[in-house]
Amino acid sequence: MASTVTVAAVTVDQPPPEAVRAPADPPPLVLVDAAGLSRPRRVRVALPRPLRRLAGPALLVLLWQLLGSLGAVNPRVLATPGQVLSAALELGRNGELASNLLASLQRVVEGLAIGVSLGVVLAVLAGLFRLAEELLDSTLQILRALPALGLLPLVIIWFGVGEEPKIALVVFATVFPVYVNTYAGIRGVEHRLVESARVLGLGRAGLIRHVVLPGAVPGFLVGLRFALTSAWLVMIIAEQLNATSGIGYLMNQAQAWYRTDIIVLGLLVYGLLGLAADALVRLLERRLLVWRRGFDGA
């Protein structure tokens, strides 16, 4: 009887494999874009970033040349890019452009070295010490509101008509952007980082060296960019007064002869120098701020 029950159990409880096999899923539908079969695939060539950045100025120059060629702009009022290029070649051959450019660069470099150094020292003192902030910040904010070119008569009285007043104006124009942004960078360091450094056992000197000063580098670089722009703006005016060399002096001499091509050339030189200075600061940002990732644009 036991064998009979076993056979019955096998017959009832173990159906054949075909009875429990699940039905196969239908094959997925593949949608074919019939219109896309006839369209050729577009190959996009990515231009380097420097070329894309120069596209805007290049279009502006082409439009400028077109307006001048059609007579919409009087060359006596505004020289065309072709005339400006001819003036650049002329001044380049006789050496005037190079000598005056070196004179302007020397003044700006000397003024920037003094102004940036002074701005950083004042910002560190006011940012780290409350007593220094109370003594310095209000005075510096008052001086920052004074127009740099408005001090030109006093600067000439104090320093004479040589190189000193031009450098002094550059110092005055560059010290405040560096001070304001570096000071804001020091005071903008996150409090959580400071507390974490103290928990890890860093003293005051280690806290300043490893947390506060690195956190202020982005603010310093922003101030440096503003300082570079301010230096060239001040130099344009300073070199047109009691100067015997420099791009501003060259433009002032061209004004007497209605040489708008040389005047525009001087302005373009100032603009290119400002662009080169900004590119240098961007390079410093990429080197010094590798630890900080920001939004690069969509």
Nearest Cα residue to 83 out of 248, 254, 221: 254
Q: Is the pLDDT of residue 3 over 50?
A: no
Q: Around Cβ 150, how many Cβ atoms within 10 Å?
A: 8
Nearest Cα residue to 147 out of 237, 225, 219: 237
CB 104, CB 247: distance < 8 Å:
yes
Q: Around Cβ 47, how many Cβ atoms within 10 Å?
A: 11
Q: Report CA Rg, the chain.
A: 35
- The pTM (predicted TM-score) of the whole model is 0.74
CB 251, CB 263: distance < 8 Å:
yes
Structure token digits, residue 76: 């006596």
Q: Which residue has the tokens 């400071």?
A: 194
CB 112, CB 145: distance < 8 Å:
no
How far CA 169 is from CA of 139, 207, 275, in Å, comes to 18, 36, 21
CB 91, CB 147: distance < 8 Å:
no
Give 185's Cβ-side CA count (13 Å radius): 25
Dmax (CA) for the chain in angstroms is 131
DSSP-H helix ranges across 188-295: 191-199, 204-207, 213-238, 247-256, 260-288
| Bigger pLDDT: 179 vs 17 | 179
pLDDT tens per residue across span 116-168:
999 999 999 998 889 999 999 999 999 998 888 788 888 888 888 788 888 99
pLDDT interval class at 278 (50, 70, 90):
confident
User: What domains are defined for the chain?
Assistant: 78-288 (1.10.3720.10)
Distance between CA 236 and CA 248 in Å, rounded?
5
Q: Is the pLDDT of residue 44 over 80?
A: no
Distance between CA 223 and CA 118 in Å, rounded?
13
Nearest Cα residue to 114 out of 163, 161, 57, 79: 163
How far CA 165 is from CA of 182, 224, 239, 240, 257, in Å, comes to 26, 22, 10, 12, 27
Q: What is the per-residue pLDDT for 8?
A: 45
pLDDT tens per residue across span 225-271:
999 989 988 988 888 777 888 998 899 888 888 889 999 999 999 88
CB 234, CB 149: distance < 8 Å:
yes
pLDDT tens per residue across span 71-114:
888 878 888 899 999 999 999 999 999 999 999 999 999 999 99
End-to-end CA distance of the chain: 82
